[in-house]
Amino acid sequence: MTEYTPMKNLPAAPGYKKGDLFVLFGELFGRGYANGIVDEARRAGMTVVGATVGRRDNGGELRPLTPQELAEAEANLGGKIINVPLEAGFDLEPADDGISPVERLKGIKPDDWETVRFGEEILQQSRRRGIERLRTNMEQFIAELTPLIPAEGSLLFAHTMAGGIPRARFFMPLLNRIFKGTGDKFLPSEPFWNSDLGRLCQLNFNEVTGNTFGGLLESTAAIRAGVEARGGAVRYVAYGYHGCGVLLGGEYVWQSYTPYVQGEAKMLLEDIAVEATRNGISAAVYNCPEIQTNSSALFLGVELSLYPFLAALEREGGGPVAEQARRDCAALLKEGGSLELMLARADDYLASPLMAGFMDFAAWPQHNVKEQMAFMLERSQELMAMSADQKRVVCAELSRLVFQGVGRLMFDDSWAPQGPVLWLNHDIIARRLLS
Ligand SMILES: NC(=O)c1ccc[n+]([C@@H]2O[C@H](COP(=O)([O-])OP(=O)(O)OC[C@H]3O[C@@H](n4cnc5c(N)ncnc54)[C@H](O)[C@@H]3O)[C@@H](O)[C@H]2O)c1
């Protein structure tokens, strides 16, 4: 069990310099967390190299990006992308009988989910194939990365991979019931998680969200040895999630989105960083706040704890950056709306007795219950509706500020990490942005 270790001190400026290599291990999406650290690497003059998960056309063979897709992705990243598909997971990998987990679900109605049985051995066969596929592709990736390593200076790898929801149509109605269902539509996460379907998700999440980090550390051992032998250093950072401290009743209080079914995979990621650090590798996981990205879009309500970030900016000293953030957010509100009301409603949600039982760090990740989900979804909608244009909502603006602050903190801290697992709570992010 990881100890709760929030970052307390702003890290010093790092020693990265022009020509050092920054490798983004995962794809970059418009509003994704990684934008923050990529900006920092560019600003420091580092050479930026990226990766791709590849593509599958209609669930078919995994392939690299087409020349057009590659050109677009490279323009977005502002650097070369090594075009080897690094998709992790095994939901589309056949077991020894030639059938993949996703294919096994064909013809089954989502309502009959409780009757689905895979059997552990079948899942493990597919899993082993998925691991083998990624290992082979990683070898290719490393072979193409090696010539790009500068003759002097250091390397920074940023791991951003997370996901692994099996890509069967079957899953969407079920997941919608778990994450967005109210009344009769609500499906509790616990029985689902304890079913064979939950087991498939768990194993797949572990591969995508956790073991890709271990694989990266392992595959780059020779690169590390080479760089260290000539006096350079190789460092690794990864994005974690394990709840977040936000301002509530004048204090920074740990809370979490529930049900965070990826929680165990994220704890595996933490364990990998702890073990690597013990072995003398510079590897740190930074547990980040809830923000709105492509990946978090399914989890309606995850953004509720983001609103108090505005209050954190005031609490940590205010000033021009905080004032600008308030102005930018206020400009997005419907006529007659106010940030004060928005913050009061978010506060009322977080402080409600219904949420108290979910603020238990030791019990994380917890399953959901009907009343909590109904309350969260209703409050999420109420606060979203306060923005005038649903394509430009206040929490998107706050998400951007948070990923910028997180990017700076991770980039700076990576030079000499304050620990293998650190929580970047609203206070330290606000302080970073204000200083
Ligand atoms: N959004 C949040 O609220 C939040 C909070 C804390 C931590 N994080 C973490 O930040 C990181 C980036 O996520 P994001 O929210 O910015 O979303 P994102 O969608 O921008 O990024 C998700 C990343 O996962 C990769 N990925 C997805 N499926 C994959 C697969 N099968 N194999 C390999 N890679 C795969 C994508 O290429 C991409 O790089 C993740 O580790 C995420 O868990 C997000």
For residue 236, what are the contacts with CB-CB under 8 A and spacing of at least 6? 156, 157, 158, 159, 213, 216, 217, 273, 276, 281, 282, 283, 284, 414
Helices (H), 78-159: 101-104, 120-145
Query: Which tens digits make up the pLDDT trace of 289-342?
Result: 999 998 888 899 999 999 999 999 999 999 999 999 999 999 999 999 999 999
| CA angle centred on 302, ends 296 and 307, rounded to 5° | 120
Structure tokens at 6: 């929030």
If one counts every other C-beta atom within 10 angstroms of the C-beta of residue 145, the result is 22
Atom of ligand 1 nearest to the CA of 290: 3
How many alpha carbons fall within 13 Å on the CB side of residue 174? 24
Q: What percent of the chain has pLDDT over 90?
A: 97
User: How far is the centre of ligand 1, averaged over its atoms, from the C-alpha of 83 (Å)?
Assistant: 19
| Residue range 92-112, pLDDT digits in tens | 999 999 999 999 999 999 999
pLDDT at 121 over 90: yes
Which tokens sit at 171? 């899953």
Percent of the chain with pLDDT over 70: 100
Average pLDDT of the chain is 96
The residues, any chain, with a CB within 8 Å of residue 120's CB and separated by 6 or more, are: 199
Compute the distance between CA of residue 206 and CA of residue 221 in angstroms, rounded to an integer: 22
> In angstroms, what is the span from residue 147 Cα to ligand 1's centroid?
27
Helix H segments across 78-207? 101-104, 120-145, 171-180, 189-193, 196-205
Distances (CA, A) of 188 to 62, 192, 242, 300, 366: 33, 7, 21, 15, 11
Q: What is the average pLDDT across 375-387? A: 97
Specify the residue with its C-alpha closest to ligand 1, atom 3: 290
Asked whether the predicted pLDDT for residue 345 surpasses 90, the reply is yes
pLDDT at 58: 84
pLDDT tens digit sequence for 239-257: 999 999 999 999 999 999 9
Residues 167-190 have a mean pLDDT of 94
Residues in the chain: 435
Residue 28: left if φ>0, alpha if ψ -120 to 50, beta else—which one?
beta
Determine which residue's CA is closest to atom 34 belonging to ligand 1. Answer: 161
**pLDDT interval class at 370 (50, 70, 90):** very high
260's torsion region: left (phi>0), alpha (psi -120 to 50) or beta? Answer: beta
Confidence of residue 87 (pLDDT cuts 50, 70, 90): very high
Dist. CA 172–CA 80, nearest whole Å: 34
Our mutation pick for probing the ligand 1 site, out of 137, 161, 406, 429, counting the most ligand atoms within 8 A of Cβ, is: 161
Ligand 1 atom with least separation from CA of 403? 16
In three-state secondary structure terms, 287 is strand
Output the ligand 1 site: residues, CB below 6 A: 26-27, 29, 32-33, 53, 86-89, 160-164, 208, 212, 239, 241, 288, 290-291, 293-296, 302
Pocket perturbation via mutation, ligand 1, pick of 24, 28, 29, 33 by most ligand atoms within 8 A of CB: 33
Domains present along the chain, CATH in parentheses: 21-298+401-434 (3.40.50.720)
The alpha carbon dihedral of 374, 349, 388, 328 has a sign of negative
> What residue owns the CA closest to ligand 1's atom 28?
163
Residue 393: the pLDDT is 96
Residue 208 is given by DSSP the state I
DSSP 244: E
Provide the token pair at 195. Answer: 């079913």
C-alpha dist (Å) from residue 351 to 10, 50, 344? 28, 41, 10
Distances, alpha carbon 329 to alpha carbons 248, 319, 338, 398, in Å = 20, 16, 10, 8
CB distance 102 to 59 below 8 Å: yes
- Phi-psi category of 69—alpha, beta or left, where left has phi over 0 and alpha has psi -120 to 50? alpha
